[in-house]
C-alpha cells in the first residue's frame, strides 16, 4: 500500500551548467553529459533578443528537450529582481514536477553569472549542483598566448564598469589583471592604464574563442567600437624563467 | 623531384592542455580530443614521485602514446630553470621530428602553471596552442556552492605563500578573494583573516573535485594537516538579489 510519502513525486535536480566562453568544444565532458540528458534546459535571454548561451550549445540540444527562456533586462540600471523571481518560479515548477533542469551559464556559473541569482532563490529548496565552466578570463589568456601569473603573483579580475579611481587603486596593486565587460568603458580604462604606465603591457581581445574572435593591438582599438565581450589583460611581468 | 624544402619534416604542434582540477569529467571536449589523438604526452613529475596531472587523465591515455615525464624540483627555493630547460629540449626533439606534443596542465595552463615555462621556451620555435582548463579556483566555488562575484565586484586570486602584510593589504581591498596553495601557510592566512574580520566569511576546501575532496568549517581546520591543494575562499557579500 502506498503511503502519501511514496506517492509524492521525487523532486528534480537543478544544475548550474558552465558552458564556457563560446567555443562549443570548451564545454566540459560533464557539462555535455548533463546538457544532453536533462529534460529541461533554461537560459537567459536579453530583451534585445540576444541568446548567446543557447547559441553556444545549439548543436547539442535535442528537439524533445523542454526549453525555458529566462528574459533579463539588458540595462543594469533596471532592477533585475522581478525577472529572476519569475525565472526561478518557472524553473521551480519543473523541479517540483520531478524534472531535472540545467541552467546554461556562459563562462563559469559562479563568476558574475546570472545563474547565481537562480541559485540563491532555489538551492535551499532543491538539490543543486554547479558544474564549473571555462571562464572567458582565462580563455582570453590562452588565446592571447599570455602566461598570466607566476609563483607569488596576485591576480585581480575586475569589471570595467568601476569608477576610474577604484580601477586605478585596484590595478596599482595587482601583479596581473583582467578587466572584463569593456564596452563603452574602454576610454576610461585606457586613461587609467596610461596613468599607471600599464598601457604598453596591456593586451586586448574581443569574443575570445567565438567564431568572430578578434585580437587587436590595444593602441589601435577604437573606443566607440569596443563590444561588451571585450577583455583587457595585464599579464604578470614576473617571469622567473 | 623533391626539393630540400619538401623533404624537411613538418614540425609538430605543441599543445598546453588544461585538464582541470581533478575530476576527469571536467576535461573539456577539446582537451579530451587532443589528449587522445596526439602521439606524445608530457607531464610534470615531482621529485617526490607525485604525478597528479597524469593521474587525472590516466584512463584516457593509450599504450601506444609516448609519455615524457618532466621532473621538477618540489621546493620552490631551488632554481627550476635547469629542469625546465631539460624538459623543453626533450619536448622539442619530438616536435622537430614532426610529432605533436600535449603538455598536461592541472587546472588552467596560464595560471601559476608549469606549462608557462615550457611555453616561454618553445612557442617561438613551434606552433603552439593553449587549451584553457577548469581552474581549481572557480571549481572550488562550484563545489562550495558559493557565488563569488556580482556586478562591480573585484576578485583577487593570491597564493598563501605571500608575506602576511602583503596578504593583508591585498585582501583588504578585494570584494571577493581566493587564496591558493595553502599548505603550511594556513596559520598565517588565518591570522590575517581574523585581523581583517574576514574569518567568519571564509570557506575552506581541500582537493576540489578530486575523489578525496574535503570541505570543512574553517574554524575546525587543524593548521598542521592542511595540504598544498587547499583553498580558502571569501565570497562577495554584495548579493544584489
A143 vs B158: CB contact, 8 Å cut-off?
no
Distance from CA of A223 to the nearest CA of B (A): 21
- Nearest to B237, CA basis, from B169, B147, B166, B171: B147
**Residues on chain A touching B146 (C-beta within 8 angstroms):** 110
- What's the rounded Cα separation, in Å, for the pair A61 and A34? 11
pLDDT at A1 over 50: no
Kindly list the residues from chain B whose CB atom is less than 8 angstroms away from the CB atom of residue A116: 147, 150
Quote the pLDDT of residue B84: 93
* CA nearest neighbour of A142 among A193, A178, A106: A178
Q: What is the pLDDT of residues B108-119, one digit of tens each?
A: 999 998 999 999
Task: Express each pLDDT in A80-108 by its tens digit.
Answer: 888 999 999 999 999 999 999 999 999 99
Per-residue pLDDT tens digits for B169-211: 999 999 999 999 999 999 999 999 999 999 999 999 999 999 9
Q: Which three cell numbers stand for residue B214?
A: 574535503
Alpha-carbon distance B31 to A210, whole Å? 17
Give the model's pLDDT for residue B9.
84
pLDDT of residue A13 exceeding 60, the answer is yes
User: Between A8 and A220, whose confidence is greater?
Assistant: A220
* DSSP characters over B66-80: EEEEEEE-S-TTS--
Q: At which residue does the C-alpha cell 583587457 appear? A: A232
Whether B50 contacts B72, CB under 8 Å:
no
User: Between chains, do A30 and B29 touch, taking CB under 8 Å as contact?
Assistant: no
Question: Which among B166, B90, B137, B37 is positioned nearest to A108, based on CA atoms?
Answer: B137
**Which cell numbers in the block locate residue A204?**
586586448
Q: Do B154 and A158 touch (CB under 8 A)?
A: yes
Q: For a pLDDT cut of 70, what percent of chain B falls above it?
A: 93
- The C-alpha atoms of residue B213 and residue B38 are separated, in whole angstroms, by 30
| CA gap A108, B204 in Å, rounded | 20
Does B159 contact A151 at a Cβ distance shorter than 8 Å? yes
The predicted model gives A116-135 an average pLDDT of 97
Contact yes or no for B155 and A159 at CB 8 A: no
Cell numbers for A67: 526549453
How many contacts does A have with B, using Cβ atoms within 8 A? Answer: 180
| Rounded Cα distance, A141 and A148, in Å | 7
Q: How far is A44 from chain B (nearest CA, A)?
A: 16
Compare A110 and A9 and report the one with higher pLDDT. A110
- Residue A79 C-alpha cell reads as 532592477
Q: Looking at residues B78-106, what average pLDDT do you find?
A: 93
- Rounded Cα gap, residues A113 and A91, in angstroms: 17
Lowest mean pLDDT among A50-54, A219-223, A231-235, B58-62: A50-54
Q: What is the DSSP letter of A200?
A: G
Closest CA to A220 of A186, A197, A195: A186
Q: What is the pLDDT of residue B78?
A: 59
Model ipTM?
Answer: 0.93
Q: What are phi and psi of A168, to 5 degrees?
A: -60, -45
Q: Between chains, do A111 and B148 touch, taking CB under 8 Å as contact?
A: yes
3-state helix, strand, coil in chain A (%, to 5): 35, 25, 40
- Average pLDDT over chain B, rounded to an integer: 93
Q: What is the pTM of this model?
A: 0.94
Query: Cα separation of B111 and B43, whole Å?
Result: 16
Residue B38's CB is within 10 A of a number of other CB atoms, namely: 22
The CA distance from A2 to the nearest CA of chain B, in Å, is 35
Amino acid at each position: 500500500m502506498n503511503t502519501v510519502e511514496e506517492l509524492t513525486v521525487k523532486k528534480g535536480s537543478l544544475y548550474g551548467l558552465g558552458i564556457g566562453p563560446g567555443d562549443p568544444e570548451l564545454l566540459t565532458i560533464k557539462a555535455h553529459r548533463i546538457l544532453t540528458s536533462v529534460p529541461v534546459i533554461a537560459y537567459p535571454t536579453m530583451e534585445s533578443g540576444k541568446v548567446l548561451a543557447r547559441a553556444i550549445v545549439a548543436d547539442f540540444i535535442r528537439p524533445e528537450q523542454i526549453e525555458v527562456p529566462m528574459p533579463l533586462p539588458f540595462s543594469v540600471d533596471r532592477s533585475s529582481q522581478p525577472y529572476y523571481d519569475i525565472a526561478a518560479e518557472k524553473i521551480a515548477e519543473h523541479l517540483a514536477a520531478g524534472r531535472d533542469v540545467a541552467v546554461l551559464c556562459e563562462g563559469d556559473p559562479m563568476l558574475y553569472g546570472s545563474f547565481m541569482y537562480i541559485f540563491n532563490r532555489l538551492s535551499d529548496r532543491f538539490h543543486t549542483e554547479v558544474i564549473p565552466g571555462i571562464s572567458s578570463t582565462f580563455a582570453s589568456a590562452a588565446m592571447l598566448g599570455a602566461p598570466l601569473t607566476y609563483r607569488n603573483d596576485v591576480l585581480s579580475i575586475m569589471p570595467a564598469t568601476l569608477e576610474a579611481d577604484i580601477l586605478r587603486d585596484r590595478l596599482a596593486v595587482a601583479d596581473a589583471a583582467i578587466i572584463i565587460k569593456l564596452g563603452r568603458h574602454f576610454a576610461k580604462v585606457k586613461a587609467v592604464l596610461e596613468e599607471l604606465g600599464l598601457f604598453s603591457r596591456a593586451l586586448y581581445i574581443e569574443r575570445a574563442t567565438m567564431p568572430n574572435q578578434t585580437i587587436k593591438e590595444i593602441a589601435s582599438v577604437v573606443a566607440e567600437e569596443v563590444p561588451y565581450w571585450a577583455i583587457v589583460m595585464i599579464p604578470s611581468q614576473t617571469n622567473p624563467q
